[in-house]
Chain A
Amino acid sequence: MPGWLYRRLGDRLFSALVVGLALGVVLAALAIVWVLYQGGREALHTFGFLGFLTGSRWDAVRGEFGAWPPLLGTLLTSAAALFLAFFPALSAALFVVEFAPRALKGAVAYLIDLLAALPSVVYGLWGIFVLVPLVRERVELPLFTWAAAHAPGLLAFLGPPTGIGMLSAILVLALMIVPYASALARDALALVPQSQREAMYALGATRWEVIRRVVIPYARAGIFSGVVLALARALGETMAVTMLIGNSVNLPYTLFGPAATMASLIANEFTEAEDDLHLSALIAVGFVLLLIALATNLVAAWVLRRMSLGEGRK
């Protein structure tokens, strides 16, 4: 083979191969959007996009599908889990960067990263056999017996004291998203220049004042992106939630009762869906979940860019 052929043809072939495969990645991403839209079209068509979103009845037998209960379930559990997770996550990040003695830093950071790597089903398993009994015996039963004795009117709102339900799902979800929020916050805090801290100390600040007024504001973009990553994680988290939330497609009416999220609904019903409309409705739920996840990502990117511009870092 002559030299120029080897060069020209080789370079051509190689770059064509690389570009082709990379194009495959882009196409795969587009395929995700297209497939979910196409798959859900029948249901979206039947009920209308808004009708599908706001319909509060999900009844496979009658062929009536409204995504509002799982949509609400997803939003409620994710928001509650994020609320619970935020301060512990930030605390753990602050602990590692600002407080821990050097010997402890690495160990704590490693443990938290480990928490992120544990599979969802393992959390679910632990939830079923450790957390659910705990919630039932220590929270729900006492509440239930108290209500039975003193306020029977409340019983209807408490739901059955089984331990299975939104509360358990939220607790495990919070635990699962902590490491995501924490790891990014930690990276951002560690990037705050020591000179910033020293400048505040030199004004006569206590350690907390330095953290509160200089370190956290400086790292806010990273902290925020950790929160969004955690939120995205919570929105789509499937297995642990499916195992704990009780999977009821009725509108959630109590923190202790069963509910469903979009992801848990898909996981729970997909293999049992017999007719096309049911299947399509489930894929449509997936499409809505996709839209929410995309929106979360885009909002995050936008705010992140604005925040870093505001800081004017070089």
Chain B
Amino acid sequence: MNLRRRYLRDRVMQGLVYLGTLAVLLPLFFILYYVFVQGIGALDLAFFTRPPAPPGEGGGGMLPAIVGSLVVDLIALALAAVFGVAAGVLLAEYPDHPLNPFLHLVSDVMAGLPAILMGLVAFVLVVKPMGHFSGLSGAVALALIMVPIITRATEGVLKLIPWEITEAGLALGLPRWRVILSLVLPAARGGILTGLMLALARGAGEAAPLLFTAFGNPFLTLNPLEPMDTLPLKLYVYAISPYEDWHRQAWGAALLLAAAIMVANYLARRATRS
């Protein structure tokens, strides 16, 4: 094979790599462009302050969905944080605990499971016994998605905390639990916060597990025991509806969601750095 042919191949492959990269980046620009251009017009005052108008009437807004998203996502995050951080602490601070091999396996496997399955589980475990759909059941489904993310992040960052900190605390005569709570966890605050933000960003965009748990609700409610709307749910319903004005609002919801998730990701990155 002569040199010219080798260089030809080098150039051709370089061209293909550039082309492949473009094939990834162009649609991305396309999507972001559409979300921004179509969405920005929909984000008026009514969008944030009004409940939905009846089908086909036009006007109205997303207030119940915005509030519902906040309530459901925050309950989910609180639930997932308690279990996730504890599991991370066990993995990192009690490395010889017999539960750990299972915990490792479970958090790896859970992270790879389809989100909609979490909805099915929450339906069977929460909706069925309660007898009706509820924001709480949606939060349980989302929490199941968030837990492995938080567990991994917590374990990862705790393992980076120098052992000297623990030793120093123990040398001062502090009991183990005080050392973990007052020294190790605060030192790992940034990393744990990153895990929480990433989990929130992931959960906040999910609609599939909420279809038959939170279900949706056109009326504003703060009670998580009632059905609740969330932004992704509303976006889905509006997107597949036949009404022009709902399509407009769906783009608005898409922009709001995308922006919120970008902010959460940005905060996650920043928390790691500090």
Q: Do chains A and B touch in the complex (CB under 8 A)?
A: yes
Q: CB within 8 Å of B: which residues of A?
A: 6-7, 10-11, 13-15, 17-26, 28-29, 31-32, 35-36, 38-39, 87-92, 94-95, 98-99, 108, 111-115, 117-126, 128-130, 175, 178-179, 182, 206-209, 211-212, 229, 232, 235-239, 242-243, 263, 266-267, 270-271, 282-283, 286, 289-290, 293-294, 296-297, 301
B239 in complex: contacting residue of A92, A125, A286, CB < 8 Å = A125
Contact B35 A175 (CB under 8 A): no
Least CB separation from A32: chain B residue: B121
Q: In this complex, which of A15, A121, A123, A267 has the most chain B Cβ atoms within 10 angstroms of its Cβ?
A: A121
Question: 25 interchain pairs (CB within 8 A)?
Answer: A22-B87, A25-B147, A26-B102, A26-B106, A28-B144, A88-B20, A108-B21, A112-B24, A117-B262, A122-B258, A125-B235, A129-B247, A206-B9, A211-B13, A242-B208, A267-B208, A267-B211, A270-B123, A270-B211, A289-B114, A293-B112, A293-B113, A294-B109, A297-B108, A297-B109
**Residue B62 at the chain A interface, CB threshold 8 Å:** no
Instruction: State the majority secondary structure of interface residues on B.
Output: helix
Which of B17, B34, B151, B176 has the most chain A CB within a 10 Å cutoff? B17
* Chain A interface mostly: helix
Given contacts A26-B102, A118-B205, A271-B212, 14 further A-B contacts (CB under 8 A): A11-B176, A11-B177, A14-B177, A21-B86, A32-B117, A32-B121, A35-B120, A92-B25, A115-B28, A118-B261, A120-B207, A178-B24, A270-B123, A301-B108
A39 and B124 in contact (CB under 8 A), knowing A22-B87, A238-B208? yes
Q: Map CB proximity to A onto B199-216 as digits: 1 under 8 Å, 0 otherwise.
A: 001101111100110010
Give Cα A90 to B13, complex, Å.
12
Complex alpha-carbon distance, A282 and B38, angstroms: 36
The reply to whether A117 and B206 contact each other, CB–CB distance below 8 Å, is no
Inter-subunit contact A208/B13 (CB<8 Å): yes
Q: Check if B272 is an interface residue, CB within 8 A of chain A.
A: no
Chain A residues with Cβ below 8 Å from B93 are 18
Do the beta carbons of A243 and B175 come within 8 Å of each other?
no
Q: Is the CB of A119 within 8 A of B121?
A: no
Assuming the contacts A111-B28, A124-B236, asked whether A289 and B117 have C-beta atoms less than 8 A apart, the reply is yes
- Chain B residue, CB-CB nearest to A232: B112
Contact B125 A89 (CB under 8 A): no
Residue of B nearest to A21 (CB): B86
Residues of A within 8 A of B38 (CB): 129
- On whether A121 and B114 interact (CB within 8 A), knowing A10-B177, A14-B180, A91-B21, the answer reads no
In the complex formed, the residue of A with least CB distance to B208 is: A238
- A contact residues around B77 at 8 Å (CB): none
A36 touches B28 (CB 8 A): no
> How many angstroms between the C-alpha atoms of A111 and B25 in the bound complex?
8
Top 8 closest A-B pairs, CB basis? A236-B114, A91-B20, A119-B205, A14-B177, A21-B86, A238-B208, A95-B21, A29-B106
**Residue in contact with B235 in the complex, picked from A36, A121, A208, A212, CB distance below 8 Å:** A121
A182 to B211, CA, bound (A): 30
**Residues of B contacting A91 in the complex (Cβ-Cβ under 8 angstroms):** 16-21, 23-24
Most buried by B among A113, A119, A126, A293: A119
Interface segment out of the listed B51-59, B159-167, B249-257: B249-257
Partner of A208, one of B9, B117, B177, B254: B9
Is the Cβ of A206 less than 8 Å from the Cβ of B83? no
How far, in whole Å, are A126 and B28 apart by their CA atoms in the complex?
11
Complex: how many Å from CA A19 to CA B94?
A: 10
Q: A119 touching B261 by the CB < 8 A rule? A: yes
Contact A296 B112 (CB under 8 A): yes
- Say yes or no: B177 contacts A117, CB within 8 Å: no
Q: Are B6 and A290 in contact (CB under 8 A)?
A: no
The interface residues of chain A lying within 8 Å CB-to-CB of B16 are 87, 91
- Quick one: given A130-B30, A130-B34, A178-B24, are A120 and B208 in contact (CB under 8 Å)? yes
Q: Are A22 and B103 in contact (CB under 8 A)?
A: yes
| Chain A nearest CB, measured from B141 CB (Å) | 11
Q: How far is the CB of A271 from chain B (nearest CB, A)?
A: 5
In whole Å, how far is B266's beta carbon from the nearest beta carbon of chain A? 10
Contacts of B208 in A (CB 8 A): 120, 238-239, 242, 263, 267
A120 to B207, CA, bound (A): 8
Restricting to B49-74, which residues have a CB under 8 Å from any CB of A? none
Smallest CB-CB separation from B175: which chain A residue? A7
- List, in ascending order, chain A residues with CB within 8 A of B109's CB: 29, 294, 297
Q: Assess whether B82 is interfacial by the CB under 8 Å rule.
A: yes
Shortest Cβ distance from B108 into chain A, in angstroms?
A: 7
B89-121 CB mask vs A (1 if < 8 Å, else 0) is 111011001010011001111101111111011
